[in-house]
């Protein structure tokens, strides 16, 4: 839905713009009682596929970004096809994906806190060979957000966004390694680790080895991550994506802290391969969707 306050001299052109863009419907114009300059407020329903063209047209008209809001509203009923236009109700809006990416590209305190908590749980999972704890850590970890933001920056040609997101992702993964390494080192120094503990004897030692399943899982997770990111369902599939990052990061940290340098190198390779494939798969998924959306708009 679009809501915009437009100055009097731009009202005719803005009204014409809304009429000319296919996918903008139910336009309502009324006086802006809070302004003394004769401004008008426009409210309109905008299909997702038309959102990108609308934002570009508004920018060309010279309307400041503070004078309009484009928001997404979840439709409960009726779910008829005509509400979504020719391309259905689940159209692709690049501007929405870009907004999501910008919001999740910075290392906010909540992100760092969640990933630190996930690291502690994952470390305990590696030490006790508990798959349940590893899954719990994956459910908490928010690393899917900067991964997807990096993909958006790459596909959109936004270098600063891609770099900022990649730095946030790297910072998060490094934090996992540091937290798990320090925790396991402290437990080792205090003799709290299981008697004769060796990280290579853990039931999770496969986390330090790369094979065909590593590649397939990472590629599939990258596709799922991007599709979930676009629908704001990333929390629901976070476990599937973090299966390629959190366990390997925690295993790497425990290997460093508890003395298993040989295993640490293997875990580092697994982590690097997984992150690279995640970004490649996510970027490829987004590129295909954007290409299909552009092709539909030109037909």
Comparing CA positions, the residue from 101, 89, 226, 245 lying closest to residue 180 is 245
Whole-Å CA distances, 71 to 12, 32, 148? 23, 20, 21
pLDDT tens digits for range 130-179: 889 998 999 889 998 899 999 999 998 889 999 999 999 999 999 999 99
For residues 21 and 72, membership in a common domain is answered with yes
The token pair that represents 2 in the structure block: 């679009």
Question: How far apart are the C-alpha atoms of 151 and 26, rounded to whole Å?
Answer: 35
Q: Interior CA angle at 163 toward 223 and 114, to 5°? A: 65
- The structural domain count of the chain equals 2
* Residues paired with residue 41 on neighbouring β-strands, in sequence order: 5, 30
Whole-Å CA distances, 38 to 17, 34, 60, 68? 19, 10, 22, 16
Comparing CA positions, the residue from 272, 259, 270, 138 lying closest to residue 201 is 259
For residues 60 and 116, membership in a common domain is answered with no
Question: How far apart are the C-alpha atoms of 2 and 96, rounded to whole Å?
Answer: 13
| Final residue in a domain of this structure, among 27, 57, 91 | 91
Question: How far apart are the C-alpha atoms of 57 and 189, rounded to whole Å?
Answer: 63
Q: CATH number of the domain that 35 lies in?
A: 3.30.70
What is the strand order of the sheet 68-70 is part of? 24-31, 40-46, 2-6, 68-70
For residues 249 and 176, membership in a common domain is answered with yes
For residues 125 and 82, membership in a common domain is answered with no
In the chain, pLDDT over 90 holds for what percent of residues? 39
Question: How far apart are the C-alpha atoms of 273 and 290, rounded to whole Å?
Answer: 26
Question: How far apart are the C-alpha atoms of 119 and 121, rounded to whole Å?
Answer: 5
Per DSSP bridges, beta strands 40-46 and 2-6 are: antiparallel
For residues 148 and 274, membership in a common domain is answered with yes
For residue 297, how many other CB atoms are within 10 A of its CB? Answer: 16
Question: How far apart are the C-alpha atoms of 4 and 21, rounded to whole Å?
Answer: 16
For residues 21 and 102, membership in a common domain is answered with no
pLDDT at position 210: 87
pLDDT tens digits for range 15-59: 999 999 988 989 999 888 776 567 889 999 988 778 878 888 898
Region of poorest pLDDT, from 98-102, 112-116, 186-190, 284-288: 98-102
The token pair that represents 286 in the structure block: 């987004």
For residues 82 and 113, membership in a common domain is answered with no
Residues 6+ apart with CB under 8 A from 10: 61, 62, 63
For residues 199 and 287, membership in a common domain is answered with yes
For residues 116 and 239, membership in a common domain is answered with yes
Q: Could you tell me how far CA 181 lies from the centroid of its own chain?
A: 27
| Final residue in a domain of this structure, among 55, 76, 91 | 91
| Final residue in a domain of this structure, among 35, 64, 91 | 91
Evaluate if residue 287 carries a pLDDT over 60.
Answer: yes
pLDDT at position 249: 93
Question: How far apart are the C-alpha atoms of 275 and 240, rounded to whole Å?
Answer: 13
Comparing CA positions, the residue from 272, 236, 267, 239 lying closest to residue 254 is 267
For residues 162 and 272, membership in a common domain is answered with yes
pLDDT at position 232: 65
For residues 115 and 87, membership in a common domain is answered with no
Question: How far apart are the C-alpha atoms of 116 and 120, rounded to whole Å?
Answer: 6
Q: Could you tell me how far CA 62 lies from the centroid of its own chain?
A: 31
Domain extent, residue 40, equals 2-91
Residues in the chain: 299
- Give the burial string for 59-75 (b: 16+ CB within 10 Å, else e): eeeebeeeebebeeeee
């Amino acid at each position: 839905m679009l809501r915009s306050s437009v100055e009097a001299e731009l009202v005719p052109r803005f009204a014409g713009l809304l009429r000319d863009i296919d996918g903008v419907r139910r336009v309502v114009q009324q006086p802006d009682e809070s302004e003394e300059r004769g401004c008008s407020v426009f409210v309109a329903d905008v299909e997702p596929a038309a959102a990108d063209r609308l934002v570009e047209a508004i920018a060309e008209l010279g309307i400041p970004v503070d004078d309009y809001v484009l928001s997404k509203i979840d439709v409960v009923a009726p779910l008829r096809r005509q509400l979504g236009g020719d391309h259905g109700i689940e159209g692709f809006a690049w501007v929405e994906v870009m907004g999501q990416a910008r919001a999740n590209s910075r290392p906010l305190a909540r992100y760092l806190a969640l990933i630190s908590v996930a690291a502690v749980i994952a470390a305990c999972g590696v030490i006790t060979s508990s798959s349940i704890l590893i899954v719990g850590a994956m459910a908490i970890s928010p690393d899917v957000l900067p991964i997807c933001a990096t993909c958006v920056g790459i596909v959109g040609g936004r270098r600063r966004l891609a770099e900022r997101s990649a730095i946030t992702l790297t910072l998060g993964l490094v934090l996992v390694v540091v937290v798990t390494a320090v925790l396991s080192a402290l437990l080792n120094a205090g003799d709290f680790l299981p008697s004769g503990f060796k990280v290579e004897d853990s039931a999770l030692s496969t986390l330090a080895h790369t094979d065909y399943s590593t590649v397939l899982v990472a590629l599939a997770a990258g596709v799922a991550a991007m599709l979930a990111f676009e629908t704001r369902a990333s929390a629901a599939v976070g476990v599937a994506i973090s299966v390629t990052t959190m366990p390997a990061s925690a295993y790497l940290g425990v290997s460093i802290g508890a003395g298993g340098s040989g295993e640490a190198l293997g875990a580092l390779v697994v982590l690097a391969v997984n992150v690279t494939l995640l970004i490649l798969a996510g970027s490829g998924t987004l590129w295909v969707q954007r290409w299909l959306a552009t092709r539909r708009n030109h037909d």
